[in-house]
Amino acid sequence: MKFVDEYRDAGLVNSIASEIKKITTRQWNIMEICGGQTHSIVRYGLDELLPREITLIHGPGCPVCVTPLELIDRAIVIASLPGIIMTSYGDMLRVPGSSSDLLRVKASGGDVRMVYSPLDVLQIAEHNPGKQVVFFAVGFETTAPANAMIVTEARRRNLTNVSVLSAHVLVPPAIEAILSARDASVNAFLAAGHVCTVMGYTEYEPLAEKYNVPIVVTGFEPADILQGILMAVKELESGSHRVLNQYARAVTREGNLPAQRLIREVYQVVDRKWRGIGTIPSSGLDLNDNYAEFDAAKRFRVDTILASESEKCLAGKVLQGLIKPSSCPAFGTECSPDHPLGAPMVSSEGACAAYYRFRKSESHV
Amino acid sequence: MSDQISFSCPVPLSGYDKITLAHGGGGSFSYKLLHELIFKYLNSEPLAMEHDGAVMDINGVKLAFSTDSYVIDPVFFPGGNIGELAVYGTVNDIACCGAKPLFLSLSLIIEEGLPVEQLETIIASVKKAADRAGVVVVTGDTKVVGHGKGDKIFINTSGIGVVHANANISPRRAEPGDAVLLSGTIADHGIAIMASRSGLEFQTSILSDSAPLNDMIEHVLKAIPDVHVLRDPTRGGLASTLNEIARSSNTGMYIDENLIPVKEEVKGVCEILGLDPLYIANEGKLVVIVPGNAAGKALDILLSHPLGRQAAIIGTVTSDHPGMVRMKTSIGTNRIVDMISGEQLPRIC
């Protein structure tokens, strides 16, 4: 397929891999932020092609995985109310809350629907004037502008039966949280190409400067990821720490300005709890006061939910890149995609699910 | 920041106490439902073979018997409708037992309100498909349920056929050294359905591959009596079928991503939606497993059949990693092709 096969060319991939081997002289830990990149790395076994000195650490960039338990429980409670149509994107429906998930609400008679586009939500609302349609909005900066259109369009079309439960999260505060942690061991980052398509990469420049880490905006295909790693290693080996753009075919330094305007118009930056990690200051997006009438958290008063997580699984460590999924004692035994203990085992972008699907034989057969 | 870190995750949600759609997805949930619930009570010898149909000896005649229900949404899809699907699906299951399909039953569960004109189109398709496949509908049943109690129309077909002389087809017969062949491009049916399903309407020219495989199978069996396994990779796709064979035969499958035919347009839709064509349904494709030395001959036969023009040898059966499917990726690395958990869901971003 044109514009995809070029980046999956075995010759190109192997030549970049040998270039990386040639220039690597020391141990480097490189974190790919995005779950989509983790998926590609594990699916294509890209880490097998790297020299031993380079360790890839899988970052927290799986929006489904980091959505806090309290918010999932809240979505489940709202979805169980009479007269509600709960909508969200695929994987979000399967993520376990404290005692249920949205698919179970559906199996018990709730109206839970998977949508493919924010505009589907508006269509459902228009077709069901007697119902309240709630969209459980997850994702990083990539999906925030399109999801913002739900409320701007709902206002324009005078739809009063639409609301949004926002679980949006932001990448730069997560990078800062990882770098400022006591046991920080990441030497360089591959930033998420799609996030930067919207946001550009100016906000990464102060981070690279402050923590002396190169950050390479990177795409998702095998050749993209290896080239991103090559650019990061070149920076590290030469003692430099610039922000570079590997994904120039999609990303500009300034990003998509109209999309950014839409984000500013609809959302406000809030502190957000990340599942398995903790609260990261200024790392989330909620609807702002101007759009408060569309905020499902305000429209449907749900008693404060205090959800406590068991200590069974080590998703928190996985999400911070402190351990590999296969090092978790529950991996492949108590925890599998059929019976996930944690969200990273649910989403196709979750590191645990990627390891389970593509390489479980190496740890558990 | 690190002070706030809690290494925790939710309490385990043990097995589902209600049936979910994932149990019908053809992946690991379906597999568990069969093995942990249904086989607990029903354990006849033919059932235990876990074949597409049962093979039974009646007074020296080996009969193949199979049944399948069709609940597809939408009922009319690009390249076909539920009527022909219901015929070909059961015909193919019987043919994959190494048998010549002969007779079908047809059972209709119709939702109140279905336009008669649509029902007529469906039944006309049943007739056309039965003629094409060389089978006769010999018995049937019709039920009507109230509005909202069904989804337009559900169809069940059962069928019987006579096993070809000398054929001994079983998923348990895959052996190390065997070759794995595929009769053509994968994922056409599933993508054609998805593209026309409500909520995801986009224009493609992809048609369902729905077709009867019995004629092609007959050609293969005539030339190579020692075919080990025949399977049509329907629900759950090629990946689930190969996993099932690997588990039944306790062998490993090793396939090559570059050798698996996928239409460019299908690849494109899969890329957009974040789906893996290996897990997407087919309705007119055949997996053939034969001894390694018969691979070339089998390929020639498939290629010479109108339904096998894009056939390929896609891998081998191995004694390594029994029960598992591994794949050489397009860039030359290796990965597992696991059975899918539940249904494939489009990605978020």
CA distance, residue B124 to nearest chain A CA (Å): 34
Spell out which residues of chain B touch residue A341, defining contact as CB-CB under 8 Å: 9-12
The answer to whether residue B60 sits within a structural domain is yes
Greater pLDDT, A331 or A243? A243
A4 contacts on B by Cβ (under 8 Å): 267, 271
Distance (Å) from the alpha carbon of A277 to chain B's nearest alpha carbon? 5
Assigned domain for A272 exists: yes
Contacts with B, A 220-259, CB within 8 Å: 222
Exposed/middle/buried for B252, CB within 10 Å: 0-12, 13-18, 19+? Answer: buried
Q: Which of residues 93-122 of A touch B (CB under 8 A)?
A: 93-94, 96-101, 103-104, 106-108, 114-116, 120
Give the number of beta-carbon pairs within 8 Å between A and B.
185
Omega within 30 of 0 (cis) for the link into B74: yes
Q: Specify if A183 maps to a domain.
A: yes
Chain A residues whose beta carbon lies within 8 Å of the beta carbon of residue B347: 36, 89-91, 348-349
Q: How far apart are CA A323 and CA A329, in angstroms?
A: 11
Is the pLDDT confidence value at A365 over 70? no
Q: What is the largest CA-CA distance in chain B?
A: 77
In this structure, the answer to whether residues B180 and B130 fall within a common structural domain is: no
The shortest C-alpha distance from A107 to chain B (Å) reads 6
Q: Which two tokens stand for residue A13?
A: 């991939």
Domain boundary among A207, A225, A245: A245
Amino acid at B221: L
> Is residue B9 classed as helix, strand or coil in its secondary structure?
strand
* Average pLDDT of the residues in A266-292: 94
Do B274 and A348 lie within an 8 Å CB cutoff? yes
Instruction: Calculate the CA B45 to chain-centre distance.
Output: 22
- As to burial, measured by CB atoms within 10 angstroms (0-12 exposed, 13-18 middle, 19+ buried), residue B207 is middle
**Residue that has been written with the tokens 């974040």 in this structure:** B274
Residue contact A339–B28, C-beta within 8 A? no
Residue B114 belongs to domain with CATH number: 3.30.1330.10
Contact B21 A103 (CB under 8 A): yes
- Give a yes or no: residue B262 inside a domain: yes
A193 close contact with B: CB closer than 8 A:
no
Kindly determine whether residue B1 and residue A342, on different chains, have CB atoms separated by under 8 Å.
no
pLDDT of B256: 98
The total domain count for chain A is 3
Domain extent at residue B109: 50-163
Residue B274 has pLDDT above 60, yes or no: yes
Residues B201 and B300 in one domain: yes
Measured between CA atoms, how close is B70 to chain A, in angstroms?
Answer: 21
pLDDT at B29: 78
Q: Kindly state whether residue B234 falls inside one of the protein's structural domains.
A: yes
In the structure, what pLDDT confidence band is assigned to residue B1 with cuts at 50, 70 and 90?
Answer: very low
Pairing of strands A132-137, A162-166: parallel
CB contact under 8 A, A44 and B10: no
Number of domains in chain B: 2
Final residue before a domain boundary, out of B116, B141, B163: B163
Q: What is the pLDDT of residue B55?
A: 94
For chain A, what percent of residues have pLDDT higher than 90? 64
A65-69, A263-267, B133-137: range with lowest mean pLDDT: A65-69
CA distances from A22 to A90, A187, B11, B252 (A): 42, 19, 46, 36
Show residues of chain A in contact with B329, CB under 8 Å: 43-45
- Which residue in A154, A139, A183, A168 sits closest to A269, CA to CA? A168
Q: What is the CATH number of the domain that holds A73?
A: 3.40.50.11740
pLDDT at site B69: 94
More confident residue, A92 or A85: A85
Report pLDDT for A354: 85
Same-domain status, B180 and B75: no
Residue closest to B114 by CA, chosen among B84, B83, B136: B83
Residues B188 and B328 in one domain: yes
Instruction: Look at residue A75 and tell me whether its pLDDT is greater than 60.
Output: yes
Tell me what pLDDT residue A153 has: 97
Band (B208; pLDDT cuts 50, 70, 90): very high
Residues B270 and B311 occupy one common structural domain = yes
Dihedral sign for Cα atoms in the order A361, B245, B281, B295: positive
Can you give the pTM of this predicted structure?
A: 0.86
Same domain as B276, residue B140: no
Return d(Cα B333, Cα A358) in angstroms, integer: 11
Overall average pLDDT of the A293-314 stretch: 81
Mean per-residue pLDDT of chain B? 90
Contact status of A306 with chain B (Cβ, < 8 Å): no
- Express each pLDDT in B40-57 by its tens digit: 999 898 888 888 899 999
CB B20 within 8 A of CB A103: yes
Q: Which of A96, A107, A280 is facing B10, going by the closest CB pair?
A: A96
- Candidates A97, A316, A320; nearest CB to B8: A316
Element (H, E) at A79: helix A69-80
Q: Which of A8, A36, A64 sits opposite B330 (nearest CB)?
A: A8
Whether B12 and A335 lie within 8 Å, measured CB to CB: yes
Residue B322 CA, chain-centre distance (Å), reads 22
Assigned domain for B12 exists: no
Our CA angle for B315, A332, B50, nearest 5°, is 50
- Residues A86 and A136 placed together within one structural domain of the fold: yes
| Phi-psi domain of A34 (left: phi exceeds 0; alpha: psi -120 through 50; beta: other) | beta
Q: Evaluate if residue A37 carries a pLDDT over 70.
A: yes
Same domain, A164 and A188: no
Residue A110 counted as domain residue: yes
Across the interface, do B4 and A278 touch by the CB < 8 Å criterion? yes
Which one is predicted more confidently, B86 or B197? B86
* Residue of B6, B7, B206, B257 to mutate, testing the A interface (most A Cβ within 10 Å of its Cβ): B7
Is A172's Cβ below 8 Å from some Cβ in B? no
Residue B198 pLDDT class (50, 70, 90 cuts): low
Note down the domain range covering A320. 315-359
Calculate what percentage of chain A has a pLDDT beyond 70. 96
Q: How many angstroms separate the CA atoms of A352 and B326, rounded?
A: 19
Phi, psi (deg, nearest 5) at residue A42: -80, -40
Q: What is the pLDDT of residues A172-195, one digit of tens each?
A: 999 999 999 877 889 999 999 999
Interchain contact, A316 vs B5, CB within 8 Å: yes
Which residue among B163, B192, B216 closes a domain? Answer: B163
Q: Show the CA angle centred on residue B336, arms to residues B330 and B342, nearest 5°.
A: 115
Cβ of A334 under 8 Å from any chain B Cβ?
Answer: yes
Q: Indicate if B67 and B181 belong to the same structural domain.
A: no
Number of other CB atoms surrounding residue B219 within 10 Å: 16
B349 and A36 within 8 Å at the Cβ level: the answer is: yes
A128 assigned to some structural domain: yes
Question: Same domain, yes or no, for B191 and B281?
Answer: yes
Q: Do A43 and B329 touch (CB under 8 A)?
A: yes
User: What confidence tier does A294 reach under pLDDT thresholds 50, 70, 90?
Assistant: very high
Contact A277 B5 (CB under 8 A): yes
Q: What pLDDT does residue B13 have?
A: 36
Is residue A156 situated within a structural domain?
Answer: yes
Distance (Å, whole) CA A256 – CA B16: 44
Q: Is A173 on the interface with B (CB under 8 A)?
A: no
Averaged confidence pLDDT in chain A: 91
Is the Cβ pair B336, A359 closer than 8 Å? Answer: yes
Q: Are residues B181 and B135 in the same domain?
A: no
Side-by-side strand order, sheet with B179-182: B229-231, B287-290, B179-182, B312-318, B252-256, B325-328, B334-336
> Which A residues 51-80 touch B at CB under 8 Å?
63-64, 69
Residues B93 and B226 both lie in one domain: no
- Please check whether residues A100 and A214 belong to one and the same domain: no
Tell me: do B190 and B99 sit in the same domain: no
| Helices of type H across chain B | 28-32, 39-41, 45-48, 82-95, 116-133, 188-196, 214-223, 237-249, 264-273, 295-304
pLDDT band at A224; cut points 50, 70, 90: very high
**Is residue A164 domain-shared with residue A108, that is, in the same domain?**
yes
Would you call A91 and B6 a contact, using CB atoms and an 8 Å cutoff?
no
Q: Is the pLDDT of residue B63 over 90?
A: yes
Contact A278 B1 (CB under 8 A): yes
Q: pLDDT-derived band of residue B344, with 50, 70 and 90 as boundaries?
A: low
Domain stops at, among B114, B138, B163: B163
Q: Which of A355, A35, A48, A2 is nearest to A226 (CA)?
A: A48
Contact status of A206 with chain B (Cβ, < 8 Å): no
Inter-chain touch B14–A339, beta carbons under 8 Å: yes
A178 and A166 fall within a common domain: no
A198: contact with B, CB 8 A cutoff: no
**A263 and A153 in a common domain:** yes
Same domain, B197 and B317: yes
Q: In whole angstroms, what is the distance from residue A140 CA to residue A280 CA?
A: 14
Q: Is B107 exposed, middle or buried (0-12, 13-18, 19+ CB in 10 A)?
A: middle
Q: Which residue has the tokens 């990083």?
A: A140
Q: Kindly state the tokens that stand for A337.
A: 């995609």
CB atoms within 10 A of CB B36: 10
Query: Who contacts A314 (Cβ-Cβ below 8 Å, separation ≥6)?
Result: A323, A327, A328, A329, A330, B7, B9
- Predicted confidence at residue B3, as pLDDT, reads 32
Q: Does some domain include residue A306?
A: no
Chain A residues within an 8 Å CB radius of B334? 45, 48
Residue in chain B closest to A343 (alpha carbons) equals: B9
